[in-house]
Amino acid sequence: MQARNLSARISVLIGLAALPLLLVYFLYDPAHSALFPACPFHRLTGLDCPGCGSQRALYQLLHGHILDALGYNLMMVMALPLILYAAAVQAGNLFRRERRVIRFLYRPWFTKLVLAAVLVFWVARNLPFVPFSWLAA
Amino acid sequence: MEQQPVPQPGNGGQPVVPPKNWLVESILVTIFCCLPFGIVGIINASKVNSALAVGNYDEALRLSKEAGKWTKIGFFVGLALIVISVILQFVVGVAIFRRNSGSFGMP
């Protein structure tokens, strides 16, 4: 019981530790501040990685600007509901006797879909013409 | 010993709780931090799921531990990189600021 809850507890602790960071991302716009770490891949190659624009997107999301957030990183905004749902289930497991899991996360098709989505998004957002250039960070 | 297989009645045929595949954590790593570790994590999650799909629970458990190890390494390496990057940015920023204020002459 305790052992299998350990990872859930650690995840929740890391989540709680990250909460103050949200305040930083609410107060400062990464698009106009040197405070935030830039993506090493972008700095080296000039290309966007699948995560580029996430920080700017987060700032926009925290201000309720969903379209601006989508413009910075479509994948991050689309993945967020899944991440929040998984986090809620994980946190709930701390208070349940039986560990609950999200079934489709354990289906082979879903991991393959995620991998394909990441790779396609990575290539597509670096193509220098419309509509793909809309995906750039 | 992350998760014990626990019999779960009435969950659609599968008798055991699957071992953690670290998929969501890997997606987080991909989106917010360090791409290579994120993609390795997603591939590892895929391996766990494939083993589960053919009913090989022991193999899934082994792959799960492997996946967890790499996700944790990715998380801490990423954290370290971010901290170093922020410090470097700060140091360079201060240096530029000092040089500029020197050459333009503060009263």
Rounded Cα–Cα distance for residues B7 and B74 (Å): 32
Q: Does A24 touch chain B (CB under 8 A)?
A: no
- Greater pLDDT, A9 or A28: A28
Looking at residue B4, what is its pLDDT?
Answer: 47
To the nearest whole Å, the CA of B31 is away from the closest chain A CA by 4
CA atoms within 13 A on the CB side of B59: 12
Looking at residue B102, what is its pLDDT?
Answer: 59
Quote the number of domains for chain A.
Answer: 1
> Do A37 and B89 lie within an 8 Å CB cutoff?
yes
% pLDDT > 90, chain B: 29
Lowest mean pLDDT among A1-10, A112-121, B6-15: B6-15
A36, A75, A71: which is closest to A55 by C-alpha? A36
Rounded Cα–Cα distance for residues B75 and A108 (Å): 24
Q: Is the pLDDT of residue A76 over 60?
A: yes
- Greater pLDDT, B107 or A123: A123
Residue type for position A63? H
Q: Is the pLDDT of residue B2 over 70?
A: no
Looking at residue B77, what is its pLDDT?
Answer: 86
Domain limits for position A50? 2-135
Q: Does the predicted interface ipTM exceed a cut of 0.90?
A: no
> Do B39 and A3 lie within an 8 Å CB cutoff?
no
Looking at residue B8, what is its pLDDT?
Answer: 43
Residues of A in contact with B30 (CB under 8 A): 50-51, 118
Residue tagged 């946190």 (tokens): A91
Across chain A, mean pLDDT equals 88
Q: Read off the tokens for A121.
A: 């998004």
pLDDT digits (tens, 9 = 90+) for B50-60: 999 999 999 99
Place B72 in a pLDDT band, splitting at 50, 70 and 90: confident
Residues of A in contact with B6 (CB under 8 A): 4, 98-99
Q: Is the pLDDT of residue B10 over 50?
A: no
Task: Give, for B82, the enclosing helix (H) or strand (E).
Answer: helix B57-103
